């Protein structure tokens, strides 16, 4: 067995998809050389792809903070120089691969997956931590010793071992999104003092937002943020592989990183792979580095939320709600709405549009997220979504149109409430329970399902409407009225279907429990509910 094996610069390990929808495994240097030929990353999970994207961005930040597009050593001196360098790279439509390769070759010793002193993204100290088998490393399986996944695409021996390329990809994923289960409590050198908890991996704490281009080169470039929100340069780029000391302390609270390559290669976990021959059979794990997430605005790719209205200037990363379509989060995730803070990547794209004059009229914004259960103790879901919109919606010139979009999203929310109330009344008229708990069989449960059905029905139409908005040629009032009409039409159709599925008795209804005054005719009636529902929809459409 070689001490140094599987160098990530040479070995194929990154999964990409080309324009013909063919999937390839490529090396790190090969990816940068042909990024313009690849459509996107194509790993096992969208969350894994995002962890890979951050690694690739860390390389680019490091290289182009020190060298220009021709490979001349020329550190950035001011934001104008940074934007100018970005513009030249963008116009070239492909990376100067020789510049990137030259830098990576200078770091070759730090990119071996197996190394006697510095295995990539690992430290030997992790052997003191929890030991896991291969199924736990594989995010598609995410098994533990006491919870075996019953239905998987992999079984038998294949489940118990990973190739080096697979292990390298999942190494990034676990470091970024690992849950909080089975971490040794740990004590400091001062007896009895417990170490603080790092929580889930850093990316697992975020509501991730990023831009997507027409190919992998464009995606990387759009997310290559060359300056801070305040217009200043970031600090000296210091990716993890350039550190002279190998981080090995368990659960280490560190200062907020001052540069993006350090942030993007944050070691949220201490990991060490176990191998048998040419296969990885498991790994050891400890808690790693973490920092205070409050106002950690160095992180540009997350939604922010103010959890305490009494402290209006304090924000923390806010995870996406997997039960909501991405466009419903637009006010907080993309557009500048009252009381929210835009992600740094959106502010960067705005700067590209307004100052660098980024070509192209439409932008594609994507999100990915991990959903955890029981205080982040285990992963329950992985999901992704995307939106395409006219670029001017986030520029300084798009204020009027942002209002159109925000108003239209608010209109959807208003109509969804009318659907909810209508569905609840119809169910009560049919004999449903008026319990406030949304348990199966209650009117509230029926109403929630109707509301979810409504949002599913308007999902594709709203995306088409949003994508078709063209502030350069459209009239804002007409387009907003157009959506109100379509939204109300979908709600009416759903209401008709609910009524058709209702029994005859519900049309006449039933007296409300405890209502003895016959003169007031206090009753639940599907017919009355339908009349109120239709009247409410008409009033909303005409407002």
DSSP codes of every residue in 388-416: EEEGGGGSGGGHHHHHHHHHHHHHHHHHH
Task: Tell me the residue length of the chain.
Answer: 543
Axis-axis angle for helices 443-468, 476-500 (nearest 10): 150
- Gap between the Cα atoms of 126 and 134, Å rounded: 16
DSSP sequence for 174-189: HHHH--STT----B-S
Over 36-95, what HEC string results?
HHEEEECCCCHHHHHHHHHHHHHHHHHHHCCECCCCCECCCCCHHHHHHHHHHHHHHCCC
pLDDT at 148: 46
User: Which pLDDT score is estimated for 429?
Assistant: 85
What is the three-class DSSP state of 267? coil
The whole-number pLDDT of residue 143 equals: 45
Query: What pLDDT is stored for residue 397 in this prediction?
Result: 66
pLDDT of residue 146: 43
Q: What tens-digit pLDDT sequence spans the chain (543 residues)?
A: 568 999 999 999 999 999 999 999 999 999 999 999 999 999 999 999 999 999 999 999 999 999 999 999 999 999 999 999 999 999 999 999 999 999 999 999 999 999 999 999 999 999 999 999 999 898 775 544 444 443 455 555 667 899 999 999 999 999 999 998 855 555 554 445 567 778 899 999 999 999 999 999 999 999 999 999 999 999 999 999 999 887 778 899 999 999 999 999 999 999 999 999 999 999 999 999 999 999 999 999 999 998 888 888 899 999 999 889 999 988 878 887 666 789 999 999 999 988 877 766 789 999 999 999 988 998 998 999 999 998 888 886 678 888 899 999 999 999 999 999 999 999 888 877 776 665 667 888 999 999 999 999 999 999 999 999 988 889 999 999 999 999 999 999 999 999 988 877 777 666 665 555 454 455 678 888 999 999 999 999 987
Q: Which residue is listed with tokens 């116009």?
A: 91
pLDDT for the residue numbered 522: 53
- Written as six digits, the tokens of 215 are 């190919």
Tell me what pLDDT residue 471 has.
87
- Predicted pLDDT at 27: 98
What is the rounded distance in angstroms from the CA atom of residue 206 to the CA atom of residue 219?
20
Q: What is the pLDDT of residue 189?
A: 47
Q: What is the pLDDT of residue 468?
A: 92
Predicted local confidence at residue 358, as pLDDT: 75
């Amino acid at each position: 067995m070689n001490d140094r094996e599987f160098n990530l610069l040479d070995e194929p390990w990154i999964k990409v998809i080309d324009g013909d929808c063919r999937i390839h495994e490529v090396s790190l240097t090969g990816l940068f050389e042909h990024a313009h030929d690849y459509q996107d990353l194509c790993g096992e999970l969208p969350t894994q792809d995002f962890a890979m994207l951050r690694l690739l961005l860390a390389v680019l930040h490091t290289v182009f903070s020190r060298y220009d597009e021709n490979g001349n050593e020329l550190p950035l001196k001011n934001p104008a120089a940074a934007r100018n360098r970005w513009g030249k790279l963008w116009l070239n439509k492909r990376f100067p691969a020789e510049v990137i390769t030259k830098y990576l070759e200078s770091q070759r010793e730090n990119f071996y997956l197996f190394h006697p002193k510095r295995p990539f993204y690992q430290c030997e100290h992790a052997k003191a931590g929890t030991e896991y088998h291969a199924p736990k490393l594989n995010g598609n399986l995410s098994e533990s010793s006491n919870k075996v996944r019953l239905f998987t695409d992999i079984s038998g021996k294949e489940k118990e071992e990973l190739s080096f390329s697979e292990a390298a990809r999942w190494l990034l994923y676990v470091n970024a999104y690992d849950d909080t289960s089975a971490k040794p409590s740990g004590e400091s050198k001062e007896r009895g003092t417990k170490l603080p908890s790092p929580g889930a991996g850093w990316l697992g704490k975020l509501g991730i937002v990023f831009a997507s281009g027409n190919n992998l080169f464009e995606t990387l470039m759009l997310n290559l943020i060359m300056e801070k929100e305040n217009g200043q340069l970031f600090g000296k780029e210091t990716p993890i592989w350039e550190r002279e000391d190998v981080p090995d302390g368990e659960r280490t609270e560190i200062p907020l990183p001052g540069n993006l390559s350090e942030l993007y290669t944050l070691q949220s976990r201490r990991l060490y792979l176990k191998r048998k021959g040419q296969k990885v059979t498991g790994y050891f794990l400890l808690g790693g580095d973490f920092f205070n997430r409050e106002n950690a605005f160095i992180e540009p790719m997350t939604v922010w939320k103010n959890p305490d209205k009494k402290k209006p200037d304090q924000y923390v990363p806010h995870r996406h709600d997997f039960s909501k379509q991405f466009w419903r989060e637009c006010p907080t995730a993309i557009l500048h709405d009252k009381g929210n803070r835009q992600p740094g990547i959106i502010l960067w794209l705005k700067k590209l549009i307004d100052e660098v004059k980024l070509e192209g009229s439409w932008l594609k914004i994507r999100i990915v997220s991990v959903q955890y259960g029981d205080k982040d103790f285990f992963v329950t879901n992985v999901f992704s979504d995307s939106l395409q919109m006219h670029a001017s919606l986030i520029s300084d010139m798009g204020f009027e149109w942002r209002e159109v979009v925000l108003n239209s999203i608010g209109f959807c929310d208003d109509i969804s409430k009318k659907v909810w109330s209508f569905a609840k009344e119809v169910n009560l008229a049919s004999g449903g329970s008026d319990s406030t708990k949304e348990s199966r069989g209650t009117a509230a449960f029926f109403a929630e399902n109707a509301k979810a059905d409504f949002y599913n029905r308007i999902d594709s139409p709203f995306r088409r409407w949003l994508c078709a908005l063209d502030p350069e040629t459209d009239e804002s009032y007409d387009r907003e009225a157009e959506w109100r009409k379509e939204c109300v039409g979908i709600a009416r159709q759903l209401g008709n279907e609910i009524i058709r599925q209702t029994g005859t008795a519900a049309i006449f209804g039933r007296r409300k429990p405890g209502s003895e005054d016959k003169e007031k005719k206090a009753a639940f009636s599907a017919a009355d509910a339908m009349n109120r529902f239709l009247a409410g929809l008409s009033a909303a459409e005409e407002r």
